[in-house]
Amino acid sequence: ELKVEQNPLFLSMQEGKNYTIYCNYSTTSDRLYWYRQDPGKSLESLFVLLSNGAVKQEGRLMASLDTKARLSTLHITAAVHDLSATYFCAVGQTGANNLFFGTGTRLTVIP
């Protein structure tokens, strides 16, 4: 079974600072997704990464994928309070539709 690990699990950071969330997975995959979840809400899609070396950016968030290292990163630049949420990575199993989710990183941005 494909296993997905995220770290850190909890992240408290000051506004204006930069930080990176890491997502490691255990077996070969051809796609990786990042989602955001606000408290009590559903999941909102942030990024879809489909190839080695893929990099996508939206506002203060940038995601990248290294399929050889089985690693994706979500980089936060100059954090603002609105980014406070839980961020999940999800990895697709090659040849199947299933997604395997990490346990999430709860980000709190402190003014």
Please identify which residue in 60, 77, 101, 108 interacts with another protein, judged by CB under 8 A.
Answer: 101
Please identify which residue in 16, 18, 38, 50 interacts with another protein, judged by CB under 8 A.
Answer: 50
Q: Return the bridge partners of 35, or none.
A: 45, 88
Would you give the DSSP letter of residue 51? S
Q: State the distance between the two ends of the chain, measured CA to CA, in whole angstroms.
A: 41
Residue range at the interface with another protein (CB under 8 A); choices 11-19, 53-61, 75-83, 85-93 = 85-93
Q: Which is nearer to another protein, 77 or 108 (CB)?
A: 108
105: helix, coil or strand?
strand
Q: Hey, what amino acid is at 9?
A: L
Cα 32 to the center of its chain, rounded Å: 9
**Residue 54 contacts another protein per CB under 8 A:** no
Would you give the DSSP letter of residue 71? E
**Residue 104 contacts another protein per CB under 8 A:** yes
What is the footprint of another protein within residues 11-40 (CB under 8 A)? Answer: 31, 33, 35, 40
CA angle 45, 50, 107 (to 5 degrees): 40
* Residues near another protein, by CB under 8 A: 1, 4, 31, 33, 35, 40-45, 48, 50, 88, 90, 92, 97-99, 101-104, 106
